[in-house]
Structure 1
Amino acid sequence: MLREAFLEQVQERGEYPTRTEADRAARTVLALLGAHLVGEVRADLAARLPETFALILLNPLQAAEPLSSERFVRAAAAWIEGATDATAAWDVSAVLSVAADAAGEELTRRVLLQLPPGYDLLFGRPQDVGTAGPGPHGR
């Protein structure tokens, strides 16, 4: 996926007024996500992202422990200027749902297996829905 297409989708889903805001959210969320993925799964996801974002995913912020989905959102809020937990949840969902679309269902399932429970909603892939498909932002 090309960088502009990725950012266009993040901007649309996150309802950001500018591409710059979408880019800031994408960089923050993918840096946090990269700290939670390892090995082949992280490399495979990076291969499906635009190069700029792949490098961010592959050179993540350091995490001392896996964060629950709620703590992940709070961490994103701390890194995104002016964000609240509610707006950060929207930011995280916008970025991760676009990343899941780029990854495809099989790789997204592998990513979710490396993460604590609750991330499925952030990726827009509620696990208990089965084949019904994702709703907007996993809500």
Structure 2
Amino acid sequence: MPMRWDAFLTAVQDRGDYASPHEAERASRVVLGLLGAHLVGDVRAELAARLPETFSLVLLNPLQAHEPLPPERFIRATAAWIEGATERTATWDVSAVLSVVADCAGEDLMRRILLQLPPGYDVLFGHPQLT
């Protein structure tokens, strides 16, 4: 069962300490768009099925990545897509969104997601013990 839109946004807003749901939605769209470019096959489809429909479409129609970005470049790419962001604020955005994504995914799917990503993403998802 996918997470509800309002529950997802509320969780991201709380974790990111955003002033409005609009800020949480903007961060979620960018981070999920970049994440979608890094995931393939069943893993991406299974994760999309657990997200609210709008965000599942963002994940399935990603921004294009020519190569898997290491975590620090993923953060820089996030900063580039969010107006006024710095690497510090983008790190905050990425962690807020990906920790909620990890909750939606559950442990088994998270293990499979992390296998598709370069080393170091476990910390961004807030699950360093899974590696």
Aligned match of 1:102 in 73, 79, 104?
Answer: 104
Give the TM-score normalised by the residue count of structure 1.
0.91
Moved over 3 A (4+): none
Aligned match of 2:18 in 16, 19, 24?
Answer: 16
Amino acid in the other structure paired with 2:110: T
Gaps of 5+ in 2: none
The residue aligned with 1:84 is 86
Q: CA deviation at 1:42?
A: 0.1
Gaps of 5+ in 1: 131-139
Aligned match of 1:28 in 27, 30, 41?
Answer: 30
Instruction: Map 1:1-139; keep pairs closer than 5 Å.
Output: 1-127=3-129
Distance, in Å, in 2 between the alignment partners of 1:116 and 1:29 is: 16
Q: Which has the higher contact order (CA 8 A, sep 6+)?
A: 2
Aligned Cα root-mean-square deviation (Å): 1.0
- Percentage identity across paired residues of the two chains: 72
Q: CA deviation at 1:13?
A: 0.1
Amino acid in the other structure paired with 2:37: A
Count of matched residue positions in the alignment of Structure 1 and Structure 2: 129
The residue aligned with 1:133 is none
